[in-house]
Amino acid sequence: MKKLLKIIGITLLTLFILLLIIPFAFQGKLNDIIKRYANESVNANVEFKDVSLSFIKSFPKAHISVDDLIITTFKPFENETLVSAKHIAFTMDVKELLKKASEDPLSVKSIVIDEALLTIKTDKFGNANYDIAKETENQVEADSNSSFTFDIQDYSINNSAITYIDEATSTKLFLTELNHEGHGTFSAESSELNTKTQTNVSFSLDSTEYLNNNIIKLDAIIGLDLANSKYTFKDNKGYINQLPIEFDGYVQLLEDGQDVDITFENPESDFKNFLALIPKAYSKSIENVKTTGNFKVKAIIKGKVTEETIPTLDISLTSNNASFKYPDLPKSITNIYLNTEIKNTTGYVDDTYVNINQLDFKIDQDVFKSSASLKNITKNMLVNANINGVLNLANFTKAYPIELETALTGILKANLNTAFDMEAIETNAYSRIKNSGTASITDFVFSSEDLNNPLHITNASMSLKADDVTLNNFEAKTGGSDINATGTIKNLMGFLLSDNTLKGDFYLKSNTFKVSDFMTSETETETQENNKATTTEALKIPAFLECIIHANANTVVYDNLNLKDLSGTVYIKDQQATLENLKSNIFNGALTVSGDVSTKNETPTFSLKLGADGFDISESFKELEMLRSIAPIANFFQGKLNTTLNFSGELDDELSPNLSSISGNALAELLTTNIEDKNSALISKLDGALNFIDFSKLNLKDLKTSLSFADGKVSVKPFNIKYEDIDITVSGSHGFDQSLEYSAILDVPAKYLGSEVNQLIGKINTEEANNITIPVTTNIGGSLTSPSVKTDLTSGVKNLTTQLIEIEKQKLLDQGKTKVKDMLGGLIGNNTTKTDSIKQEQSNTVNNVLKTIVSSKTNTTTKADSTATNTTKETVKNVLGGLFSKTKKAQDTVN
């Protein structure tokens, strides 16, 4: 016995080892089988990562698995994925693997597909991406010689998804989290297939969404009549969300389509079935909900599905005097009447229509009634709806367990009728939109991604006519802003139903209006150096808004500015605000603004013209960073300012100017201005360098200057100021980083030059000498907080020396001319009757005298020039040096 057991054990071990080893011998054959099947069957690119064979997993059958299968299509869907599957497994008899390619086709017993994604697409020209089967001259013969046959007993599809898109009919169907299994025999002409299916379904037709991730379950025994391609529902029960549905009927495949004859209804009539129809995410648990009344779903779908027709439809949903109450909520919804039908009597899809004949309910004492009809739903849908009732919005969430980011509040009253077609909504064909009625709401709170803060509407009423909505009254608050508005709204239906632009013309009044309250906070992600993601909020003008706002506000808050008594017009379109004749009071003066602000691009931009009349300099430069950057020295001024600024650039996330990006020009005028800040570094340096000027007495009244700025630098055109009898010309530039590069040329009178120069001038004793002035150049560099001041005296010394010498020379020449006149007068006298010979003699005498005088004068002047030049230069150097820096140098620096 021991020997027998040993032999059996060795035999089993040998067989097990063979079962492990033999598959490697078939590895190449498996690849050949799959590649041969792919090449013979499809016009597509078939790829897979690995193929494996096992005789153990499905013993005694062979188990073949394919990993990471991908099938991509050719034109016109080039390189698009038709099928991808993480894992596919087949089982078949071992003898099937021993067949040659020329023998009978392979017979597959079971298939398991895991994590597959099938994308079926038909473009607007009718091309289908799944049409990849190879055509042969004799398709029947090709089918009979197919490389595979299916004698399937079991199959399953696990955790997979199917996407169906038909661009021609604007149809979209998405099956997600698909799990399906079937057990039966396909080889027999007549058999049964036991199936279980569960998936989430989303379905839309022509932009109308009918199912949104609804759970569908179906446990069904399907009769298979393979000879006639007919599949019959026998014993089955399905679920739409939590609503049970029973099916009867069949689907038969025809050469030109399918023949469908199906009826279904909910087996129970309790109104709880209606709540079960609503997705669980919105209806929550309904097990303990108390209901009264009934709810029935009935449907008959019968006819052919072809390229031209669909089955006729007769689907109804009805409920009479029903109610429900959730156990954890204080309110109930009562007097529910529902009568809805979906019909098609012709078999043509365009003739499908939906009638909501009645949808009424009551919460507390508020009664709400509505009805609607939808026709031509696959093309240009026609809508006619009526709403009449009162609804306390706060009670809705107290009666139905819907979760909202912001609690609903407010009393809605409406008596409205609307009739339109969707094309009219989308194209703003207002003549085809018929609205009438009135609506009002009080104490309503509205939250949106397009608003930074909830909008609290305290009172609003409107009247509807065509597509115009007349806003009779609108009182609201949001953030720190209050609004009181009237006006008209256009395209309200397009905005609500088709994401169209909301248009309007409003007259707006406000006590306090904060600009940031009406901007979109758009979240942007930034990647930091340490690869951690952070988010920033960028203010955006809402893209959905196109309107004209005629505004009047007591206070408008923009950034850190408080604008008083603001009035003007704002045009908003395409995420751009155009300001026209905007007027306000600020900094004890008047402000005017016009131009554009755009947030359409990733970086917001602006282009504005700003006029300031009588601004208080100290206040405006304290609050406005841009003004401080354009004219930093004005920080030290006290008084009034007039200016006109034309500038453009980029805005930051808070819609404040990005100073490094702005460019433009300005014209500034100072009124009744003086310098108060003597403690500044710049004024202290100027005081030290120019000790004969008291800056507190500097006359800046009516000062006008022009400047331009770009790339963070401000260039100032030359302008003149005056200190008592000293004229000063200033020009240069500075940077927004407060760097300075200026020069000031001072025209200094001689009286400031000290006793030595005045004594020298006194010796000359002429009017010209007493009016002598000299230019002195002062160069200002460094920065506003750490300036450097340099005085250049070289030109002043040269200028004063030259003037004194020229005056002295002129004085000597004038003296020589006087002597010549006297001599000529004595020689010529008053005798005009002498002969020509006497005249000639006298002329020669005069010439000799003039030569002598000129010679004598030239010698005298040359000596005078030399002496005067040396003496004057030394005197001027000494005086100017002492005047500007207490040292005898031609150029001094004060740091």
Distance separating alpha carbons of residues 169 and 131, to the nearest angstrom = 18
CB-CB contact of 641 with 671 (8 Å): yes
pLDDT of the residue at 206 = 65
**Helix extents (H) in 383-462:** 393-399, 422-427
What are 408-467's pLDDT values in tens digits? 788 999 999 988 888 887 777 777 888 889 999 999 887 776 677 888 889 999 998 876
Q: Has residue 372 got a pLDDT over 70?
A: yes
pLDDT of residue 767: 59
Query: What separation, in Å, do the N-terminal and C-terminal C-alpha atoms of the chain show?
Result: 116
- 834 versus 182: the higher-pLDDT residue is 182
Confidence of residue 616 (pLDDT cuts 50, 70, 90): confident
Per-residue pLDDT at 529 exceeds 60: no
481 has which bridge partners? Answer: 478
Say whether pLDDT at 615 is over 70: yes
How far, in Å, are 78, 106, 131, 135, 770 from residue 44 at the CA level? 9, 22, 10, 13, 105
Question: Cα dihedral sign for 814, 820, 824, 826?
Answer: positive
The residue type of 100 is K
User: Measured between alpha carbons, how far is 588 from 641 in angstroms, rounded to an integer?
Assistant: 10
pLDDT for 764: 58
Q: How many CB atoms lie within 10 A of CB 72?
A: 17
Structure tokens at 647: 């500038």
Contact by Cβ (8 Å): 317, 354: no
Instruction: Tell me the average pLDDT across 90-100.
Output: 69
- DSSP letters, 239-269, are EETTEEEEEEEEEEEETTEEEEEEEEE-S--
- What is the reported pLDDT for 77? 85
Secondary element (H or E) of residue 144: helix 139-144
pLDDT exceeds 70 at position 663? yes
Of residues 216 and 655, more confidence is placed in 216
Widest CA span of the chain, in angstroms?
A: 185
Of 511-515, 782-786, 825-829, the least confident:
825-829
Per-residue pLDDT at 338 exceeds 90 = yes
User: What does the DSSP 8-state code read for residue 750?
Assistant: G
Question: How many C-beta neighbours within 10 Å does residue 219 have?
Answer: 14
In degrees and rounded to multiples of 5, residue 2 shows phi and psi of: -60, -40
Please state which of the ranges 185-199, 307-321, 677-691, 782-796 shows the lowest mean pLDDT: 677-691
Q: Which amino acid is at 202?
A: S
Contacts of 436 (CB under 8 A, 6+ apart): 416, 417, 464, 465
Q: CA dist 706 to 662, 722, 780, Å?
A: 17, 18, 19
Tell which wins on pLDDT, 886 or 164.
Answer: 164
| Pairing assessment for the beta strands 545-558 and 502-514 based on DSSP bridges | parallel
The average confidence (pLDDT) of the chain is 76
* Three-point CA angle 120, 125, 129, nearest 5°: 25
Quick one: average pLDDT of 765-784? 73
The better pLDDT of the pair 77, 872 is held by 77
Residue 857 has pLDDT above 50, yes or no: no
State mean pLDDT over 840-868. Answer: 41
Q: Are strands 106-122 and 148-166 parallel, antiparallel or unpaired?
A: parallel
For residues 31 and 33, what is the distance between their CA atoms, to the nearest angstrom? 5
Radius of gyration of the chain (CA): 49
pLDDT of res. 450:
64
pLDDT at 304 over 60: yes
> Taking the model in full, what pTM does it have?
0.58
Q: What is the pLDDT of residue 318?
A: 93
pLDDT > 90? residue 824: no
Is the pLDDT at 708 greater than 80, yes or no? Answer: yes
pLDDT at 7: 44
pLDDT at 100 over 80: no
More confident residue, 246 or 30: 246
- Tell me what the mean pLDDT of segment 483-500 comes to: 80
Tell me: pLDDT of 859 over 50. no
pLDDT above 60 (res 342): yes
Per-residue pLDDT at 132: 76
Residue 428 · residue 500 · CB < 8 Å? yes
For residue 755, what pLDDT is reported? Answer: 61
314 pLDDT band, cuts 50/70/90, is very high
pLDDT band at residue 369, thresholds of 50, 70 and 90?
Answer: very high
226-240, 411-425, 851-865 — which one is most confidently predicted on average? 411-425
Distance CA 78, CA 478 (A): 52
Query: Could you report the per-residue pLDDT of 507-527, keeping only the tens digit for each?
Result: 999 999 887 787 665 554 444
Residue 316's pLDDT band (boundaries 50, 70, 90)?
Answer: very high
Q: What is the pLDDT of residue 188?
A: 61
The closest of 758, 798, 806 to 777, measured between CA atoms, is: 798
Q: Using CA atoms, how far apart are residues 776 and 796, in angstroms rounded to an integer?
A: 6
- Average pLDDT in the 470-478 region? 91
Phi, psi of 294 (to 5 degrees): -125, 170
Burial letters for 752-769: b for 16+ Cβ neighbours within 10 Å, e otherwise? bbeeebbebbeebeeeeb
Range with lowest mean pLDDT among 419-423, 612-616, 710-714, 774-778: 774-778
Helix (H) or strand (E) holding 765: none
Instruction: Tell me the backbone φ, ψ of residue 35, rounded to 5 degrees.
Output: -65, -40
Please check the confidence at residue 13 and state whether its pLDDT lies above 60. Answer: no
Query: What mean pLDDT do residues 74-92 have?
Result: 85
Considering the chain, what percentage of its residues have pLDDT values greater than 90? Answer: 18
Given a cut of 90, whether residue 171 has pLDDT beyond it is: no
pLDDT at 842: 38
In three state form, how does the secondary structure of 305-374 look? ECCCCCCEEEEEEEEEEEEEECCCCCCCEEEEEEEEEEEECCCCHHHCEEEEEEEEEEECCEEEEEEEEE
pLDDT attached to residue 390? 92
Top mean-pLDDT range of 32-41, 271-280, 385-394, 853-862: 385-394
Cα 638 to Cα 584, 614, 619, 785, distances in angstroms: 22, 12, 9, 19
Tokens at 193, concatenated:
């297939």
Q: Which residue has better confidence, 620 or 95?
A: 620
Give how far Cα 293 sits from Cα of 290, 338, 400, Å: 11, 11, 17
For 555, the token pair is 């206070």
- Calculate mean pLDDT across residues 40-59: 73
- Model confidence at 72, pLDDT cuts 50, 70, 90, reads confident
Query: 252: which strand partners?
Result: 230, 259
Query: Which pLDDT does position 69 carry in this prediction?
Result: 84
Q: Please give the average per-residue pLDDT across 816-842, as a whole number.
A: 51
